[in-house]
Amino acid sequence: MPLALLALAVGAFGIGTTEFVIMGLLPDVATDLHISIPTAGHLVSAYALGVVIGAPLLAALTARMPRRTVLMALMGLFVAGNALSALAPGYDSLLAARFLSGLPHGAFFGVGAVVATNMVTPERKARSVSLMFLGLTVANIAGVPVATLMGQHLGWRATFLGVSAIGVAAIASLALLIPRARTDAPSVGLRGELSALNSLPVWLALGTTVTGFGALFAAYSYVTPMLTDAAGYADSSVTLLLALFGVGATVGNLVGGRLADHAMRRTLFGGLLSLTAVLLLFPLLMSTPLTAALAVILLGTAAFITGSPLQLMVMEKASAAPSLASSANQAAFNLANAGGAWIGGLALAADFGVTSPAVAGAGLAVLGLAVASTAYLVDRHRATPSAGLAERVVASHVPEQPGALQH
């Protein structure tokens, strides 16, 4: 694998850290800015909104630019957003800065995935994407806990300055490690990128992302009360257990990338089936501390097995102009975050039990399987007439063998 993938992973590490660290800093931010914790929670939503809007918008606006330049510009915007977060004088300005920080997230992963696959041979494409995503999963193991501790001891503003420094390191890595010749501007332009979205297979792939990863977030959004109320863990143990989720996600990401290079669709179906099984077992696994820790690891592993196949499937369905579709898939991941959390919350509000969001997530995983199956059937239907036509054309040009009619 080319060393240039390390530069993409550094950027992904910074993005993953800033996305998730705010959740652990909400009490500190709320106290400092004299707002309630629910109001501070809007900072999470502002970032997610920035991702959903910025992913397709920035990918479209930069369609004619060299991709290496685009990646560096996106990380520059990321640095600016986090620096402004650190310097924000009040809640409103911090809300705007968090929105700005989220804008480059989806486009960076979307364009980065295209660059990663262009730097390797076809049989290593999924692994190249998984290595870029490795920065995101490792952020949950190391970046978020360290940044949270920094915020608790040095103030939450120091955390965002630290994340800005990671962004500067990512820009330097992109400039030094990614070869300019391998990331020239795409020839299709904005019109070509937009036309790639006018495709049913692309939208089915995006729908699989929303439903499949929505299953993860339906459970993960409420994993803390599951661990404390059902499994009996103390609040102080939750941070370590969430790091175990990052370990599982890292393993699943690497395994999924390797398997998808051999059989992308089977890896996707296997991951969704595994995720369904894990979520259905959650009420049982959350009954003891040991099995609850195992459940958290298995959740991360099963969910992130599907990460690389989902990204690669969207890119292949929009192969002529993959940048915008790839970035749109990142917006789909964040829609899955919001939608999954909402559906899990409905199950919790209905008094179905503290582990009921996981069962609701299993339903979403089954829906993801249904969407993926529909995509498979559409592909089969589109391929069959073409294959039949090709056979007829070939047959019409093959001279009839003497004596063929007698046999």
Choice between 134 and 193, residue whose per-residue pLDDT is larger: 134
Count of C-beta atoms within a 10 Å radius of residue 38: 9
> What are the residues whose beta carbons fall under 8 Å from the beta carbon of 210, sequence distance 6 or more?
332, 335, 336, 339
Query: What is the distance between the alpha carbons of residues 259 and 242, in angstroms, rounded to a whole number?
Result: 26
pLDDT at position 123 over 90: no
Q: What CATH topology corresponds to 189-386?
A: Growth Hormone; Chain: A; (1.20.1250)
Burial of 37 (0-12, 13-18, 19+ CB in 10 A): exposed
Tokens of 139: 């952020």
| pLDDT attached to residue 193 | 64
Which residues of the chain does CATH 1.20.1250.20 include?
1-185, 189-386
Q: Select from 3.30.70.120, 1.20.1250.20, 3.40.50.300, 3.50.50.60 the CATH code of 1-185.
A: 1.20.1250.20
Highest-pLDDT range among 16-20, 166-170, 201-205: 166-170
**DSSP 8-class letter at 36:** -
Burial of 260 (0-12, 13-18, 19+ CB in 10 A): buried
What's this model's pTM, rounded to 2 decimal places?
Answer: 0.79
Closest CA to 83 of 157, 25, 174, 136: 157
pLDDT at position 380 over 90: no
Assign 3-class secondary structure to 8-48: HHHHHHHHHHHHHHHHHHHHHHHHHHCCCHHHHCHHHHHHH
Tokens of 391: 């056979």
| pLDDT attached to residue 320 | 65
- Rounded to an integer, the average pLDDT of 363-378 is 92
> What are the residues whose beta carbons fall under 8 Å from the beta carbon of 315, sequence distance 6 or more?
113, 114, 117, 322, 325, 326
Tokens of 263: 């059989």
Q: What is the pLDDT of residues 134-143, one digit of tens each?
A: 888 888 888 8
Alpha helices in 221-263 (DSSP H): 223-225, 238-262
Q: What is the pLDDT of residues 281-321, one digit of tens each?
A: 999 999 999 999 999 999 999 999 998 888 888 887 876 66
| 253: three-class secondary structure by DSSP | helix
Closest CA to 99 of 42, 39, 174: 42
- Rounded to an integer, the average pLDDT of 13-29 is 83
- Rounded to an integer, the average pLDDT of 193-212 is 83
Confidence of residue 407 (pLDDT cuts 50, 70, 90): very low
What is the share, in percent, of the chain residues with pLDDT greater than 90? 34
Q: What is the pLDDT of residues 55-99, one digit of tens each?
A: 888 888 887 788 889 999 999 999 999 999 999 999 999 999 999
> What are the residues whose beta carbons fall under 8 Å from the beta carbon of 240, sequence distance 6 or more?
none
Alpha helices in 178-306 (DSSP H): 189-196, 200-220, 223-225, 238-262, 264-285, 289-305
Q: What angle do CA 197, 375, 278 make, to 5 degrees?
A: 115
Q: Torsions phi, psi of 305, nearest 5?
A: -60, -30
